[in-house]
């Protein structure tokens, strides 16, 4: 006694089933083109999401220069010891004039932090007029603007009349 039918097992039914399976064995051209279009859109989004490292390094260099100049300015003003900052196409470095170098007493520690003031180099070559800045010991009468260029990027290092440094895009 047969309870459940399993379909048409005739030779004609099996031939139709085989032909149907053979016709549906691959992708159609439309399905293939849609899959390629979806992958192209996803790849385009992924490429746009990749960061521009040169731009980031450029901003990081400028931020680092400004923060170290501001820190040196503040420390020079607080300690009364002038500092000199040199900024040129190679990078920037800090030093103390020989007349200002004194040996601290044993109970008074030096606030000069060599790691903060170590010489820095630009990530990529820049065009800048070399400048030597005196920090802490002078009275600032007018704002200072120093243009800096790197490939197709430009910035202006600015020193306001209160002695604070910042960079801006022209």
Q: What angle do CA 49, 50, 51 make, to 5 degrees?
A: 110
Q: 108 versus 156: which is more confidently predicted?
A: 156
In this prediction, residues 143-158 reach a mean pLDDT of: 92
User: Which domains are delineated in the chain?
Assistant: 53-101+111-168 (3.55.40.10)
The sign of the torsion formed by the CA atoms of 59, 169, 65, 87 equals positive
- Distance of alpha carbon 165 from alpha carbon 80, whole angstroms: 19
pTM for this predicted structure: 0.64
- Distance of alpha carbon 169 from alpha carbon 157, whole angstroms: 9
Question: What would the pLDDT profile of 60-91 be if each residue is shown by its tens digit?
Answer: 999 999 999 999 888 888 888 888 999 999 99
Spatial contact of 16 and 7, defined as CB atoms under 8 Å apart: no
């Amino acid at each position: 006694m047969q309870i459940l039918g399993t379909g048409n097992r005739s030779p004609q039914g099996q031939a139709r089933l085989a032909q149907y399976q053979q016709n549906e064995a691959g992708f159609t051209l439309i399905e293939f083109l849609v899959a390629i279009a979806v992958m192209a859109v996803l790849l385009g989004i992924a490429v746009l999401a990749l960061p521009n490292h040169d731009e980031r390094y450029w901003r990081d260099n400028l931020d680092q220069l400004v923060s170290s100049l501001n820190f040196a300015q503040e420390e020079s003003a607080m300690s009364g010891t002038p500092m000199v900052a040199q900024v040129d196409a190679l990078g920037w470095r800090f030093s103390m004039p020989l007349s200002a170098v004194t040996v601290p007493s044993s109970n008074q520690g030096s606030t000069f932090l060599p790691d903060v003031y170590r010489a820095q180099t630009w990530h990529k070559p820049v065009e800048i007029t070399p400048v030597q800045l005196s920090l802490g010991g002078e009275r600032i009468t007018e704002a200072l603007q120093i243009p800096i260029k790197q490939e197709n990027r430009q910035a202006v290092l600015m020193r306001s009349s209160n002695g604070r440094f910042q960079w801006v895009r022209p």
